[in-house]
Structure 1
Amino acid sequence: MQIFVWTDGSTLLSRLHIPFEVIAPDIDERPKAGESPEATAIRLAREKAAAVVLLAPGALVIGSDQVATLDGEQIDKPGTHKNALQQLRKMRGRCVIFHTALCLWDGRQQHPETTAQIDNIQTFVTFRDLADAELEAYLRIEQPYDCAGSAKNEGLGIAILEKIDSSDPTALTGLPLIALTGMLRRVGFPFFTR
Protein backbone atom coordinates (compact mmCIF):
# COMPACT_ATOMS: atom_id res chain seq x y z
CA MET A 1 0.00 0.00 0.00
CA GLN A 2 1.65 3.23 -1.13
CA ILE A 3 1.21 6.30 1.06
CA PHE A 4 2.09 9.81 -0.02
CA VAL A 5 2.16 12.90 2.15
CA TRP A 6 2.81 16.58 1.53
CA THR A 7 6.18 17.80 2.86
CA ASP A 8 5.06 19.44 6.13
CA GLY A 9 3.69 16.22 7.59
CA SER A 10 6.66 13.93 7.05
CA THR A 11 8.30 14.37 10.46
CA LEU A 12 5.15 13.51 12.38
CA LEU A 13 4.13 10.69 10.05
CA SER A 14 7.45 8.94 10.63
CA ARG A 15 6.31 8.34 14.23
CA LEU A 16 3.83 5.76 12.94
CA HIS A 17 6.60 3.55 11.46
CA ILE A 18 4.86 3.29 8.11
CA PRO A 19 6.53 3.68 4.73
CA PHE A 20 5.63 6.82 2.82
CA GLU A 21 6.90 9.15 0.13
CA VAL A 22 6.81 12.93 0.12
CA ILE A 23 5.40 15.02 -2.71
CA ALA A 24 5.04 18.79 -2.48
CA PRO A 25 1.90 19.85 -4.35
CA ASP A 26 1.85 23.29 -5.94
CA ILE A 27 -1.27 24.80 -4.34
CA ASP A 28 -2.31 28.42 -3.98
CA GLU A 29 -2.84 28.66 -0.22
CA ARG A 30 -4.55 32.04 -0.16
CA PRO A 31 -8.05 32.09 1.31
CA LYS A 32 -10.92 32.78 -1.06
CA ALA A 33 -13.08 35.86 -0.62
CA GLY A 34 -15.69 35.30 2.09
CA GLU A 35 -14.26 31.90 3.05
CA SER A 36 -14.18 31.09 6.76
CA PRO A 37 -10.81 30.05 8.25
CA GLU A 38 -12.14 26.54 8.90
CA ALA A 39 -13.38 26.25 5.31
CA THR A 40 -9.99 27.45 4.02
CA ALA A 41 -8.14 24.76 5.99
CA ILE A 42 -10.52 22.02 4.80
CA ARG A 43 -10.38 23.14 1.17
CA LEU A 44 -6.58 23.32 1.16
CA ALA A 45 -6.16 19.90 2.78
CA ARG A 46 -8.45 18.41 0.14
CA GLU A 47 -6.74 20.28 -2.73
CA LYS A 48 -3.29 19.12 -1.58
CA ALA A 49 -4.43 15.50 -1.47
CA ALA A 50 -6.22 15.78 -4.82
CA ALA A 51 -3.14 17.28 -6.48
CA VAL A 52 -0.88 14.51 -5.18
CA VAL A 53 -3.27 11.69 -6.12
CA LEU A 54 -2.99 12.86 -9.76
CA LEU A 55 0.77 12.31 -9.50
CA ALA A 56 0.42 9.01 -7.62
CA PRO A 57 -2.75 7.24 -8.80
CA GLY A 58 -3.68 4.17 -6.82
CA ALA A 59 -2.07 5.41 -3.60
CA LEU A 60 -3.35 6.59 -0.25
CA VAL A 61 -2.65 10.32 -0.08
CA ILE A 62 -2.59 12.48 3.02
CA GLY A 63 -3.19 16.21 2.75
CA SER A 64 -3.32 18.63 5.63
CA ASP A 65 -3.48 22.34 6.22
CA GLN A 66 -3.69 24.61 9.22
CA VAL A 67 -5.24 28.02 9.70
CA ALA A 68 -4.86 29.99 12.92
CA THR A 69 -7.52 32.48 14.02
CA LEU A 70 -7.88 35.18 16.64
CA ASP A 71 -11.38 36.62 17.12
CA GLY A 72 -12.42 34.85 13.89
CA GLU A 73 -9.70 36.56 11.82
CA GLN A 74 -7.10 34.44 10.06
CA ILE A 75 -3.53 34.81 11.33
CA ASP A 76 -1.02 34.47 8.53
CA LYS A 77 2.61 33.36 8.65
CA PRO A 78 4.46 36.50 9.76
CA GLY A 79 7.39 36.30 7.35
CA THR A 80 9.43 38.90 9.24
CA HIS A 81 10.58 39.63 12.79
CA LYS A 82 8.50 42.82 12.90
CA ASN A 83 5.30 41.05 11.85
CA ALA A 84 5.94 38.17 14.27
CA LEU A 85 6.36 40.59 17.18
CA GLN A 86 3.10 42.33 16.22
CA GLN A 87 1.31 38.97 16.17
CA LEU A 88 2.66 37.90 19.54
CA ARG A 89 1.76 41.25 21.11
CA LYS A 90 -1.80 40.90 19.82
CA MET A 91 -2.10 37.31 21.05
CA ARG A 92 -0.54 37.62 24.51
CA GLY A 93 -2.90 36.57 27.24
CA ARG A 94 -5.46 35.46 24.64
CA CYS A 95 -6.74 32.26 23.08
CA VAL A 96 -5.94 31.47 19.45
CA ILE A 97 -7.83 28.72 17.61
CA PHE A 98 -5.87 26.54 15.21
CA HIS A 99 -7.95 24.67 12.59
CA THR A 100 -5.96 21.66 11.37
CA ALA A 101 -7.75 20.03 8.47
CA LEU A 102 -6.88 16.53 7.34
CA CYS A 103 -7.79 14.66 4.15
CA LEU A 104 -7.08 11.01 3.40
CA TRP A 105 -7.67 10.39 -0.30
CA ASP A 106 -7.94 6.71 -1.23
CA GLY A 107 -6.67 6.59 -4.80
CA ARG A 108 -7.26 2.84 -4.94
CA GLN A 109 -11.00 3.41 -5.30
CA GLN A 110 -12.78 3.78 -8.64
CA HIS A 111 -14.12 7.19 -7.58
CA PRO A 112 -11.57 8.36 -4.99
CA GLU A 113 -13.04 11.85 -4.77
CA THR A 114 -16.19 10.41 -3.21
CA THR A 115 -14.27 8.31 -0.71
CA ALA A 116 -11.94 11.04 0.57
CA GLN A 117 -12.16 11.31 4.35
CA ILE A 118 -11.96 14.84 5.76
CA ASP A 119 -11.78 16.10 9.31
CA ASN A 120 -11.00 19.38 11.05
CA ILE A 121 -9.41 19.33 14.48
CA GLN A 122 -9.56 22.50 16.53
CA THR A 123 -6.84 23.32 19.01
CA PHE A 124 -7.33 26.14 21.51
CA VAL A 125 -4.02 27.74 22.48
CA THR A 126 -3.73 30.35 25.22
CA PHE A 127 -0.62 32.50 24.98
CA ARG A 128 1.18 33.75 28.09
CA ASP A 129 0.97 37.47 28.82
CA LEU A 130 4.68 38.15 28.36
CA ALA A 131 6.60 41.43 28.20
CA ASP A 132 7.94 42.67 24.87
CA ALA A 133 11.52 41.87 25.95
CA GLU A 134 10.65 38.17 26.38
CA LEU A 135 8.79 38.04 23.07
CA GLU A 136 11.76 39.70 21.32
CA ALA A 137 14.20 37.24 22.90
CA TYR A 138 12.07 34.27 21.85
CA LEU A 139 11.84 35.51 18.27
CA ARG A 140 15.60 36.09 18.05
CA ILE A 141 16.28 32.53 19.23
CA GLU A 142 13.70 30.51 17.28
CA GLN A 143 12.82 32.80 14.35
CA PRO A 144 9.39 31.20 13.71
CA TYR A 145 8.60 33.48 10.77
CA ASP A 146 7.13 30.64 8.70
CA CYS A 147 4.58 29.62 11.38
CA ALA A 148 1.07 30.99 11.70
CA GLY A 149 0.90 32.38 15.21
CA SER A 150 4.66 33.04 15.35
CA ALA A 151 5.38 30.17 17.74
CA LYS A 152 6.65 26.62 17.31
CA ASN A 153 5.09 24.52 20.03
CA GLU A 154 7.42 21.65 19.18
CA GLY A 155 10.36 23.92 20.05
CA LEU A 156 11.06 26.80 22.40
CA GLY A 157 7.68 28.30 21.53
CA ILE A 158 6.11 26.03 24.13
CA ALA A 159 7.54 28.46 26.73
CA ILE A 160 5.31 31.28 25.51
CA LEU A 161 2.18 29.17 25.66
CA GLU A 162 0.06 28.87 28.79
CA LYS A 163 -2.43 26.19 27.76
CA ILE A 164 -3.20 23.86 24.85
CA ASP A 165 -6.60 22.20 24.58
CA SER A 166 -7.25 19.69 21.79
CA SER A 167 -8.62 16.21 21.21
CA ASP A 168 -5.49 15.43 19.18
CA PRO A 169 -2.19 16.72 20.61
CA THR A 170 -0.32 16.41 17.31
CA ALA A 171 -2.82 18.62 15.47
CA LEU A 172 -1.09 21.81 16.60
CA THR A 173 2.17 20.63 15.05
CA GLY A 174 0.39 20.14 11.72
CA LEU A 175 -0.67 16.51 11.34
CA PRO A 176 -3.37 15.13 13.67
CA LEU A 177 -2.13 11.56 14.11
CA ILE A 178 -5.09 10.34 16.17
CA ALA A 179 -7.51 11.41 13.44
CA LEU A 180 -5.20 10.06 10.74
CA THR A 181 -4.81 6.62 12.31
CA GLY A 182 -8.60 6.39 12.53
CA MET A 183 -8.91 7.23 8.83
CA LEU A 184 -6.21 4.72 7.88
CA ARG A 185 -7.94 2.00 9.90
CA ARG A 186 -11.20 2.68 8.04
CA VAL A 187 -9.45 1.90 4.74
CA GLY A 188 -7.90 -1.26 6.15
CA PHE A 189 -4.34 -0.12 6.78
CA PRO A 190 -2.48 -2.82 8.78
CA PHE A 191 -0.65 -0.93 11.53
CA PHE A 192 0.78 -3.87 13.43
CA THR A 193 1.01 -6.62 10.81
CA ARG A 194 3.48 -5.62 8.14
Structure 2
Amino acid sequence: MSNSQNLRLILASTSQYRRELLERLRIPFEVISPKVDETPRTGESTLDLALRLAHAKAAAVSKQHPDAWVIGSDQVADLCGAAIGKPGNFERAFAQLQLMRGATVTFHTALCLMKGDTQTTLNVPTEVTFRKLSDEVLESYLLAEEPYDCAGSAKSEGLGISLLEAIQSDDPTALIGLPLIALTGLLRDAGFAIPSKTNTK
Protein backbone atom coordinates (compact mmCIF):
# COMPACT_ATOMS: atom_id res chain seq x y z
CA MET A 1 0.00 0.00 0.00
CA SER A 2 1.21 3.49 -0.88
CA ASN A 3 1.93 6.16 1.64
CA SER A 4 -1.15 8.36 1.39
CA GLN A 5 0.94 11.46 2.14
CA ASN A 6 2.58 10.96 -1.27
CA LEU A 7 -0.74 10.61 -3.11
CA ARG A 8 -2.35 13.53 -4.87
CA LEU A 9 -6.14 13.81 -4.87
CA ILE A 10 -8.30 16.10 -7.01
CA LEU A 11 -12.03 16.68 -6.83
CA ALA A 12 -13.27 17.38 -10.37
CA SER A 13 -16.20 19.55 -9.39
CA THR A 14 -17.46 23.09 -8.92
CA SER A 15 -20.00 21.98 -6.30
CA GLN A 16 -19.57 23.46 -2.83
CA TYR A 17 -21.63 20.56 -1.45
CA ARG A 18 -19.23 17.94 -2.80
CA ARG A 19 -16.25 19.91 -1.54
CA GLU A 20 -17.75 20.15 1.94
CA LEU A 21 -18.55 16.43 1.96
CA LEU A 22 -15.04 15.44 0.90
CA GLU A 23 -13.60 17.66 3.65
CA ARG A 24 -15.20 15.29 6.17
CA LEU A 25 -12.55 12.68 5.33
CA ARG A 26 -9.79 15.09 6.43
CA ILE A 27 -7.40 14.26 3.63
CA PRO A 28 -5.67 16.89 1.47
CA PHE A 29 -7.26 17.48 -1.93
CA GLU A 30 -7.44 20.05 -4.69
CA VAL A 31 -10.52 21.25 -6.55
CA ILE A 32 -10.46 21.70 -10.33
CA SER A 33 -13.41 22.49 -12.59
CA PRO A 34 -13.88 19.67 -15.13
CA LYS A 35 -15.53 21.85 -17.82
CA VAL A 36 -17.79 19.09 -19.16
CA ASP A 37 -20.88 19.48 -21.35
CA GLU A 38 -23.70 18.03 -19.25
CA THR A 39 -26.32 17.95 -22.02
CA PRO A 40 -28.18 14.59 -22.04
CA ARG A 41 -27.90 12.46 -25.16
CA THR A 42 -30.97 11.45 -27.13
CA GLY A 43 -32.57 8.40 -25.54
CA GLU A 44 -30.08 8.34 -22.67
CA SER A 45 -31.47 7.04 -19.38
CA THR A 46 -31.04 9.03 -16.19
CA LEU A 47 -28.73 6.34 -14.79
CA ASP A 48 -26.56 6.26 -17.91
CA LEU A 49 -26.40 10.06 -17.89
CA ALA A 50 -25.18 10.18 -14.30
CA LEU A 51 -22.56 7.47 -14.89
CA ARG A 52 -21.34 9.08 -18.12
CA LEU A 53 -20.97 12.53 -16.60
CA ALA A 54 -19.18 11.27 -13.48
CA HIS A 55 -16.69 9.46 -15.72
CA ALA A 56 -16.37 12.42 -18.10
CA LYS A 57 -15.63 14.84 -15.25
CA ALA A 58 -12.92 12.59 -13.84
CA ALA A 59 -11.45 11.95 -17.29
CA ALA A 60 -11.33 15.65 -18.21
CA VAL A 61 -9.21 16.50 -15.17
CA SER A 62 -7.21 13.25 -15.16
CA LYS A 63 -6.03 13.96 -18.70
CA GLN A 64 -4.34 17.15 -17.48
CA HIS A 65 -3.12 15.65 -14.18
CA PRO A 66 -2.17 12.00 -14.86
CA ASP A 67 -0.18 11.78 -11.60
CA ALA A 68 -3.27 12.34 -9.44
CA TRP A 69 -6.27 10.35 -8.34
CA VAL A 70 -9.32 12.23 -9.59
CA ILE A 71 -12.86 12.08 -8.22
CA GLY A 72 -15.74 12.73 -10.60
CA SER A 73 -19.36 12.70 -9.47
CA ASP A 74 -22.74 13.57 -10.89
CA GLN A 75 -26.32 13.37 -9.68
CA VAL A 76 -29.47 13.00 -11.76
CA ALA A 77 -32.94 12.93 -10.23
CA ASP A 78 -35.38 10.57 -11.97
CA LEU A 79 -39.16 10.96 -11.84
CA CYS A 80 -40.90 8.26 -13.89
CA GLY A 81 -37.93 8.10 -16.27
CA ALA A 82 -37.60 11.86 -16.73
CA ALA A 83 -34.59 13.79 -15.47
CA ILE A 84 -35.23 16.50 -12.89
CA GLY A 85 -32.36 18.97 -12.98
CA LYS A 86 -31.29 22.06 -11.08
CA PRO A 87 -34.15 24.56 -11.29
CA GLY A 88 -32.12 27.76 -11.37
CA ASN A 89 -34.97 29.98 -10.21
CA PHE A 90 -38.13 30.10 -8.08
CA GLU A 91 -40.60 29.41 -10.88
CA ARG A 92 -38.92 26.21 -12.07
CA ALA A 93 -38.28 25.05 -8.50
CA PHE A 94 -41.96 25.55 -7.63
CA ALA A 95 -43.01 23.56 -10.72
CA GLN A 96 -40.61 20.76 -9.76
CA LEU A 97 -41.95 20.47 -6.23
CA GLN A 98 -45.54 20.49 -7.47
CA LEU A 99 -44.68 17.66 -9.85
CA MET A 100 -42.94 15.60 -7.17
CA ARG A 101 -45.35 15.92 -4.25
CA GLY A 102 -46.69 12.55 -3.23
CA ALA A 103 -44.26 10.85 -5.63
CA THR A 104 -41.08 8.81 -5.21
CA VAL A 105 -38.01 10.14 -6.99
CA THR A 106 -34.80 8.18 -7.58
CA PHE A 107 -31.62 10.22 -7.18
CA HIS A 108 -28.77 8.55 -9.09
CA THR A 109 -25.46 9.69 -7.58
CA ALA A 110 -22.64 8.39 -9.76
CA LEU A 111 -19.02 8.27 -8.65
CA CYS A 112 -15.79 7.76 -10.57
CA LEU A 113 -12.28 7.48 -9.14
CA MET A 114 -9.59 7.57 -11.82
CA LYS A 115 -5.84 7.64 -12.27
CA GLY A 116 -4.61 6.99 -15.79
CA ASP A 117 -6.00 3.67 -17.01
CA THR A 118 -7.11 2.69 -13.51
CA GLN A 119 -10.71 3.66 -12.87
CA THR A 120 -13.86 2.60 -11.06
CA THR A 121 -17.30 4.00 -11.80
CA LEU A 122 -20.40 3.16 -9.78
CA ASN A 123 -23.83 4.48 -8.83
CA VAL A 124 -25.44 4.87 -5.42
CA PRO A 125 -29.23 5.29 -5.82
CA THR A 126 -31.46 6.98 -3.28
CA GLU A 127 -35.25 6.63 -3.24
CA VAL A 128 -36.93 9.79 -1.95
CA THR A 129 -40.67 10.03 -1.29
CA PHE A 130 -42.11 13.53 -1.11
CA ARG A 131 -44.99 14.52 1.15
CA LYS A 132 -48.27 15.78 -0.32
CA LEU A 133 -47.95 19.42 0.68
CA SER A 134 -49.92 22.51 -0.32
CA ASP A 135 -48.66 25.14 -2.75
CA GLU A 136 -48.43 27.55 0.18
CA VAL A 137 -46.05 25.24 2.07
CA LEU A 138 -43.91 24.68 -1.02
CA GLU A 139 -43.71 28.41 -1.68
CA SER A 140 -42.75 29.14 1.93
CA TYR A 141 -39.99 26.53 1.74
CA LEU A 142 -38.53 27.95 -1.47
CA LEU A 143 -38.52 31.50 -0.14
CA ALA A 144 -36.81 30.33 3.06
CA GLU A 145 -34.08 28.13 1.58
CA GLU A 146 -33.75 29.15 -2.10
CA PRO A 147 -32.47 25.72 -3.23
CA TYR A 148 -32.17 26.71 -6.87
CA ASP A 149 -28.78 25.06 -7.38
CA CYS A 150 -30.05 21.71 -6.10
CA ALA A 151 -31.47 18.96 -8.34
CA GLY A 152 -35.03 18.36 -7.24
CA SER A 153 -35.21 21.65 -5.30
CA ALA A 154 -35.07 20.03 -1.85
CA LYS A 155 -31.92 20.08 0.28
CA SER A 156 -32.21 17.09 2.58
CA GLU A 157 -29.35 18.42 4.72
CA GLY A 158 -31.35 21.60 5.35
CA LEU A 159 -34.98 22.66 5.60
CA GLY A 160 -35.79 20.48 2.59
CA ILE A 161 -35.99 17.48 4.91
CA SER A 162 -39.41 18.81 5.97
CA LEU A 163 -40.75 18.12 2.47
CA LEU A 164 -39.81 14.45 2.59
CA GLU A 165 -41.76 11.46 3.84
CA ALA A 166 -39.05 8.82 3.47
CA ILE A 167 -35.50 8.25 2.23
CA GLN A 168 -34.08 4.85 1.31
CA SER A 169 -30.36 4.56 0.57
CA ASP A 170 -27.22 2.66 1.49
CA ASP A 171 -25.39 5.98 1.98
CA PRO A 172 -26.94 9.13 3.48
CA THR A 173 -24.28 11.34 1.89
CA ALA A 174 -25.19 10.21 -1.63
CA LEU A 175 -28.31 12.35 -1.67
CA ILE A 176 -26.27 15.44 -0.76
CA GLY A 177 -24.03 14.81 -3.77
CA LEU A 178 -21.05 12.58 -2.95
CA PRO A 179 -21.40 8.99 -1.63
CA LEU A 180 -18.70 8.96 1.04
CA ILE A 181 -19.17 5.32 2.08
CA ALA A 182 -18.39 4.09 -1.41
CA LEU A 183 -15.70 6.72 -1.94
CA THR A 184 -13.89 5.84 1.29
CA GLY A 185 -13.62 2.23 0.14
CA LEU A 186 -12.23 3.25 -3.25
CA LEU A 187 -9.71 5.65 -1.72
CA ARG A 188 -8.47 3.03 0.73
CA ASP A 189 -8.01 0.59 -2.16
CA ALA A 190 -5.98 3.32 -3.90
CA GLY A 191 -3.66 3.63 -0.88
CA PHE A 192 -5.16 6.51 1.10
CA ALA A 193 -5.20 6.11 4.88
CA ILE A 194 -8.62 7.12 6.23
CA PRO A 195 -8.45 8.17 8.97
CA SER A 196 -4.74 8.88 8.86
CA LYS A 197 -2.45 9.46 11.83
CA THR A 198 -2.22 13.11 10.84
CA ASN A 199 -5.95 13.79 10.83
CA THR A 200 -6.94 12.08 14.06
CA LYS A 201 -6.66 13.88 17.37
TM over 0.5: yes
Cα distance in 1 between the residues matched to 2:55 and 2:153: 25
Partner of 1:164: 167
Secondary structure at the counterpart of residue 7 of structure 1: coil
Q: Distance in 2 between matches of 1:20 and 1:157?
A: 29
In the alignment, which of 2, 20, 30 is matched to residue 11 of structure 1?
A: 20
SS in 1 for 2:121: strand
- The alignment-based identity, stated in percent, is 57
Within-5 A mapping of 1:100-119: 100-106=109-115, 112-113=116-117, 115-119=118-122
User: Of 32, 35, 38, which aligns to 2:47?
Assistant: 38
2:183 corresponding residue in structure 1 = 180
Q: Residue 54 of structure 1: CA displacement?
A: 2.0
| Aligned partner of residue 145 in structure 1, secondary structure | coil
1:48 to 36, 57, 62: 57
Gaps of 5+ in 1: 107-111
Amino acid at match of 1:103: C
1:169, distance to aligned residue in structure 2 (A): 0.7
Measure the CA separation in 1 of the matches of 2:61 and 2:162: 36
How do 1:33-112 residues align onto structure 2 when only pairs under 5 Å count?
Answer: 33-106=42-115, 112=116
| Unmatched 5+ stretches in structure 2 | 1-6
Matched, 1:148 2:151: yes
Name the SS of the counterpart of 1:22 in structure 2: strand
Q: CA deviation at 1:31?
A: 0.7
Q: Name the residue aligned to 1:109.
A: none
Name the SS for the 1:79 alignment partner.
coil
Look up the SS of the partner of 1:100 in the other structure.
strand
Distance across 2 between alignment mates of 1:14 and 1:35: 32
Distance 1:183 1:12 in 2: 16
Encode CA deviations 1:144-183: one digit per residue, 9 max, x unaligned: 1121111111111111111111001100000000000111
**2:130 corresponds to:** 127
**TM-score, normalization by structure 1:** 0.94
Aligned length: 188
Work out whether 1:189 is the aligned partner of 2:192. Answer: yes
Which whole-Å CA distance do the structure 2 matches of 1:2 and 1:171 have between them? 23
- TM-score when scaled to structure 2? 0.90
Identify which range, 146-155 or 117-126, moves more after superposition: 146-155
